[in-house]
Homo-oligomer: A and B are copies of this chain.
Amino acid sequence: MDDHQRCPRFEKAMEILSKRWTALIIFQLLPGPQRFARIENSLQNLSGKVLSDRLKELELEGIVKRDVYPETPVRIEYRLTDKGKALAPLFDSISNWSGEWIQLSQ
């Protein structure tokens, strides 16, 4: 009945991952690098402003890398680092759980 002992690493992970949109952005990038507008259009209701904020946070955390290709017009791609890719099992867990427990109404 005691609390979990709270591991500071775990707390930090939860702090990162439980921010709105963050997990979905990571999930969106799992298949490969994508550009700003692509991510924005893929995630319904995600505003450019918040996407911009989240990508910066994820870059700071070392989860996402921003690649600049000086073509014309410039092309910028966001991709997961190894740290980011290592989150794949998390999404597997969610996928397994939802497959077993989520009922679709209708």
A31 to B101, CA, bound (A): 20
- Closest chain-B Cβ to A62's Cβ sits at a distance in Å of 8
Q: Which residue of B lies closest to A83 (CB)?
A: B101
The answer to whether A102 and B28 have CB atoms under 8 Å apart is no
Complex interface: chain B residues within 8 A of A87 (CB): 97
> Using Cβ atoms and an 8 Å threshold, which residues of chain B touch A101?
83, 86
A73: interface (CB < 8 Å): no
Copies of this chain, complex-wide, total: 2
| Interface range for A | 35 or more
A48 proximal to B (CB < 8 A): no
Chain A contact residues, majority secondary structure: helix
Q: Is A99 interfacial (CB 8 A cutoff)?
A: yes
Contacting residue for A20 out of B2, B18, B97, CB 8 A:
B18
The answer on a CB contact under 8 Å between A27 and B12 is no
Which residues on the B side are within 8 Å of A94 (C-beta)? Answer: 10, 13-14, 17, 90
